[in-house]
Amino acid sequence: MKSGKALIFAASALALLAAPPAFAAKASKIKIGFITTFSGPPGVIGEDMRNSVNVALDALGHKMGGIPVEVIFEDDQAKPEVGKQKAEKLLGKDKVDFLSGIIFSNVLLAVRKTAVDSGKFLIISNAGASQIAGKQCDKNIFSTSWQNDQIPMAMGEELNSKGVKSLYVVAPNYAAGKDMITGLKKTFKGKIVGQDMTKWPTQMDFSAELAKARAAKPQGVFIFYPGSATVAFIRQYEQAGMQKIPLYSVFSVDALSLPKLQEAKINAVLGTYDTGFWAVNLDTPGTKKFVAAYKAKYHKYPSYYGAQSYDSMLLIASAVEAVGGDLSKMDAMRSAMEKANFESVRGKFTYNNNHVPIQNIYLNQVVADKDGVWTTSMVRTIYKDHQDPFHSQCPMKKTW
């Protein structure tokens, strides 16, 4: 029995290895495997990413370089092992030409080897793990998002320029939470008067942390709470009567949490600041097209997750067009992508040696738009053409 199982494994491993070698000339169909999360609370993010991929496909006429495109979506359930299985399935069974998507850093780290070994391109639409930007960078991995540290580093600068001397920090106790605090500390010059790391993802009660934050009398509170925890945290912030202390956030107050906060009439969030590479009112042709098309199709604002996913599709399209649909020309496709020659939501940008965008980071503020809908609005540019701090650890050289 045991050897029988082993045989099946060996056979499937062989089958994976024997996946068709680069086939000649123009493909008849382009297949993209998009891994994201549809189950559990992060399912909202996955839905927004899928919507945005669809908006991109509409814009492309469902064709890249004249060839029909099919995107196959897979749910990683926010679990690294599931993400890896899905990547194997997409590459082995569906024989996709590109992998894309991936929300969570830990899922990305699990998928990396499978993707790299396959020799196909992996276009990351969100996860900003420092490893992938640094030592574990790869010639076939591109990001259309950022590296985690870039965003909280910008917030640190903003706090310095606001003259904030004392800050209380609350974030969940997992990889990205730690990255955010590390990033903030890289630039913030004031004193961090208190820091709490809460149990992730189960802890939704923040009464103890809020009471401590109030007692510490800081000039500001910095948070990172992705997903539904944002809503819980900010509701409790207001219920605890903390709105007099300014709240600063990264990756928390977005097009997914703001409608919920507005539903709940949590006014405390209005006027708060966060930092990011993007906002719906960013003055670029790419953003204008994307936001208008998204709003027309789904009647709400897209999130930055969506903007990144949209960019992923356009980046892939730019590569396919550059080789006239001959997907066997990996090197030519790679150099095409390295030029970032597409209408990105962030405007014109260049890729760093590690295939992470060199990009502006903005200060955004929560406002009500002209229709009274709560959204984030770009206030000013904090970093111009910012390079993530890990690019120097990546052995790849910039040749473009």
Residues that bind other proteins (CB under 8 A): 38-41, 43-44, 46-47, 173, 195-199, 201-205, 207-209, 211-212, 214-215, 228-229, 231-232, 235-236, 238-241, 256, 259-261, 263-265
Cβ proximity to other proteins, 80 vs 259, nearer residue: 259
CB of 73 to other proteins, least distance (A): 14
d(CA 115, CA 192): 40
CB of 382 to other proteins, least distance (A): 27
CB of 268 to other proteins, least distance (A): 10
Cβ proximity to other proteins, 41 vs 324, nearer residue: 41
- DSSP designation for 170: E
Alpha carbon dihedral 263, 265, 270, 273, in 10-degree steps, equals -60
Task: Please list, residue by residue across 268-285, b when 16 or more beta carbons sit within 10 angstroms of its beta carbon and e when fewer do.
Answer: bbeebbbbbbbbbbbebe
First-residue to last-residue Cα distance in the chain = 54
Cβ proximity to other proteins, 241 vs 271, nearer residue: 241
Cβ proximity to other proteins, 202 vs 399, nearer residue: 202
Report residue 378: phi and psi, to 5°: -70, 130
Q: For residue 186, is it left (φ>0), alpha (ψ between -120 and 50) or beta?
A: alpha
CB of 318 to other proteins, least distance (A): 31
Amino acid in the structure at residue 346: R
Longest dimension (CA), the chain: 69
CB of 208 to other proteins, least distance (A): 4
Q: Which of 288, 397, 311, 320 is nearest to 357 (CA)?
A: 311
Cβ proximity to other proteins, 260 vs 334, nearer residue: 260
d(CA 133, CA 301): 29
Taking CA 346 as the corner, what is the angle to CA 343 and CA 350, rounded to the nearest 5 degrees? 80
Q: Which of 53, 335, 276, 279 is nearest to 146 (CA)?
A: 276
Return the half-sphere exposure (C-beta side, CA atoms, 13 A cut-off) of residue 41. Answer: 13
Query: What DSSP line would sit under 185-240, residue for residue?
Result: HHH--SEEEEEEEE-TTT----HHHHHHHHHT--SEEEE---THHHHHHHHHHHHT
Measured N-to-C along each axis, helices 2-17 and 80-92 cross at an angle, to the nearest 10 degrees, of 60
Strand order in the sheet with 98-101: 63-64, 67-75, 30-36, 98-101, 121-124, 141-143
Cβ proximity to other proteins, 238 vs 274, nearer residue: 238
Cβ proximity to other proteins, 48 vs 149, nearer residue: 48
Cβ proximity to other proteins, 45 vs 137, nearer residue: 45
Residues 6+ apart with CB under 8 A from 347: 282, 284, 285, 286, 287
CB of 162 to other proteins, least distance (A): 25
Q: Which of 64, 170, 176, 72 is nearest to 126 (CA)?
A: 176
CB of 204 to other proteins, least distance (A): 4
CB of 297 to other proteins, least distance (A): 16
CB of 230 to other proteins, least distance (A): 8
Cβ proximity to other proteins, 36 vs 272, nearer residue: 36
CB of 86 to other proteins, least distance (A): 18
Cβ proximity to other proteins, 58 vs 205, nearer residue: 205
